[in-house]
Amino acid sequence: SAVKIALGCFGVLFASALVLAAFSQSLDSDFTFTLPAGRKECFYQTMKNDASLEIEYQVLDGAGLDVDFTVFSPSGQMLFSDYHKSDGVHTIDTEEGDYMFCFDNTFSSVSEKLIFFELILDNMDTDEDPDDWKEYVHGTDILDMKLEDIMDTINNVKARLGKSSQIQTLLRAFEARDRNIQESNFERVNFWSVVNLIAMVLVSGVQVYLVRSLFEDKRKIRT
């Protein structure tokens, strides 16, 4: 009986380790890059059948805070297209192949854009059968705890941690964009303040000159 309990405990620990190892592989990724003026950049993501791909992007800096965005299927069909947008979210039920998504800044000949995007991949099952770990577990019927409950709990924790990480990443992107807007507005306010100050000084000088000219006696005195 003691041997069975020990084997059962070992099976639970081993299964938990396998589940944690499987869940430790992140299927979310994000990237920030600079898109020069008059350029177009494309990226590729390999997907499987019956999976889900979510793409979210934001323009963090650059004149107009806008960019053109397109998504193409593995067969070359255009799935989504955004024109002069500052941000966007698109979800795709995928088929097997390489998906291409492009950011286009060719409409701008002067301003470069700082762009953030995030990819969220769901249902990207690995080649390993998720139920294979059950073959290594024996004697668990004498334990009160169930491996299915452990899996559900770990899956719940993993999903919530992934959602928290995604929200934090998006908040950092929003904060970066807002900071860039504030710095740009600060520079504009300073520039126009200096222009107004110079204009006021010039106007004051002209007024003083005109007032003085009114009191000058331009008549010539003959002796």
Q: How many angstroms separate the CA atoms of 166 and 160, rounded? A: 10
Length, in residues, of the chain? 223
pLDDT tens digits along 133-146 = 555 555 555 455 56
pLDDT tens digits along 61-76 = 888 888 999 999 999 9
The CATH number of the domain holding residue 138 is 2.60.120.680
Task: Assess if residue 149 is contained within a domain.
Answer: yes
pLDDT score at 187: 83
Task: Assess if residue 66 is contained within a domain.
Answer: yes
> Across-strand partners of 59?
115
Helix-helix angle 147-214:2-23, to 10 degrees: 30
CB-CB contact of 120 with 159 (8 Å): no
Counting as low any pLDDT under 50, the low residues of the chain are 1-26, 142
Parent domain of 33: 27-189
Q: How many angstroms separate the CA atoms of 70 and 53, rounded? A: 14
Of 113, 110, 89, nearest in space to 101 by CA: 89
Cα–chain center distance at 8: 45
Q: How many angstroms separate the CA atoms of 162 and 150, rounded? A: 18
Task: Assess if residue 18 is contained within a domain.
Answer: no
Task: Assess if residue 221 is contained within a domain.
Answer: no
Task: Assess if residue 210 is contained within a domain.
Answer: no
Tally of structural domains, the chain: 1
State the chain's mean pLDDT as an integer: 77
Task: Assess if residue 144 is contained within a domain.
Answer: yes
Of 108, 43, 107, 34, nearest in space to 70 by CA: 43
Tell me the residue ranges of DSSP E strands in 48-192.
Answer: 52-61, 67-72, 78-85, 87-93, 97-104, 113-122
CB-CB contact of 71 with 99 (8 Å): yes
Alpha helices in the chain (DSSP H): 2-23, 147-214
Task: Assess if residue 212 is contained within a domain.
Answer: no
Cα–chain center distance at 160: 19
Task: Assess if residue 153 is contained within a domain.
Answer: yes
pLDDT score at 130: 52
Sign of the alpha-carbon torsion through 68, 72, 78, 79: negative
CB-CB contact of 10 with 18 (8 Å): no
